Structure 1
Amino acid sequence: MTKIRPLALGVICRGDDLLVFEGRDHAKGETYHRPLGGGIEFGETAAEALHREFQEELAAELTSVEQIAVLENVFTFEGRPGHEIVFLFTADLIDKAFYERDEVGVVLDDGARVHWLPMADVASGKAILYPDGLADLLAARD
């Protein structure tokens, strides 16, 4: 990746748990977690992208969408450099059934596991959360 990628991610909480998908970086040998969302398309606002991505990834509708921060994420994934500008939004899922199960399902367009991640696992180092800075941002909001 040789250009900066704009992303919109949804910070959706159930108590002290965060809705995430689970990914794997084989080059680092690490399993990581990231809130759902994705790339912002040309002509689309970050909030519009968030709504579209939740439809595509989880067939889910959002309400109470509010931008809380923008993070810059410079990283390496699968041995290649990456650079993202990440618009973070708090939101609620309209379908309350998502909150009732720990294993929410899979990302519809790629099959990644979607679940509720206890933030205590991130704080203890048991789980890795991306983008960098998100865990600190969420801890400061409490």
Structure 2
Amino acid sequence: MPRIRTIALAVVRRGGDLLVSTGRDPVTARTFYRPLGGGIEFGETGADALRREMREELAVEIDGVEQIGVVENIFTYAGRPGHEIALVFTADLRDRSLYDRDVVGVVLDEGSPVGWQPCASFRDGTERLYPDGLLELVARHGNGRPPLRGA
């Protein structure tokens, strides 16, 4: 039986760029981008889940974790329906040298590339950011944190 999945996502910014993983739907062959994060386990706060997921997915530590909103995502991936409730947090990478690299690494458990993507490419429709509604949430909270770059 399908169920709703609760996840935590990290909005990590470098000026006008977002830190995202690159995905590709195997059915539609469409490329998309998504912030790092993942499922919240029973008894775990969203912020704690985000810290754990960032360690598991990219082997990085984060600071300044602050919830900025919630996005509901009803979607189809690989020909199957999905439904997520995403707690969205801003965060900073503890390792400041990662802000100077365009390619940050890969998602350790599945190999998707991770790097910085300009928000402008999502706004103009050149690239697709998931979940839907995330870009608007980021835009509303974009001035609340200084853009980080380097140490």
TM-score (norm 2): 0.91
Deviation, 1:31, is 0.4
Q: Which runs of 4+ in 1 moved over 2 A?
A: 139-142
After superposition, give the CA deviation of every residue in 1:82-138 in whole Å (9 maximum; x if it has no partner). 000000000101000110100111011111000001001111111100000011222
The percentage of counterpart residues that share the same residue type is 58
Match in the other structure for 1:60: 60
Matches within 5 A, 1:120-131: 120-131=120-131
Q: Which runs of 5+ in 1 are unaligned?
A: none
Deviation, 1:21, is 0.2
SS where residue 54 of structure 1 aligns? helix
Match in the other structure for 1:95: 95
Whether 2:37 is the aligned partner of 1:70: answer no
Match in the other structure for 1:14: 14
After superposition, give the CA deviation of every residue in 1:49-85 in whole Å (9 maximum; x if it has no partner). 0000000011101111000001111111111100000
Matches within 5 A, 1:32-43: 32-43=32-43
C-alpha distance in 1 between matches for 2:26 and 2:105: 22
Question: Aligned-residue CA RMSD in angstroms?
Answer: 1.0
C-alpha distance in 2 between matches for 1:74 and 1:57: 23
More strand by share: 1
C-alpha distance in 1 between matches for 2:91 and 2:139: 17
One-letter amino acid of the counterpart of residue 61, structure 1:
E
Deviation, 1:141, is 3.0
SS where residue 71 of structure 1 aligns? strand
SS where residue 109 of structure 2 aligns? coil
C-alpha distance in 1 between matches for 2:48 and 2:139: 27
C-alpha distance in 2 between matches for 1:137 and 1:17: 15
Q: Which runs of 5+ in 2 are unaligned?
A: 143-151
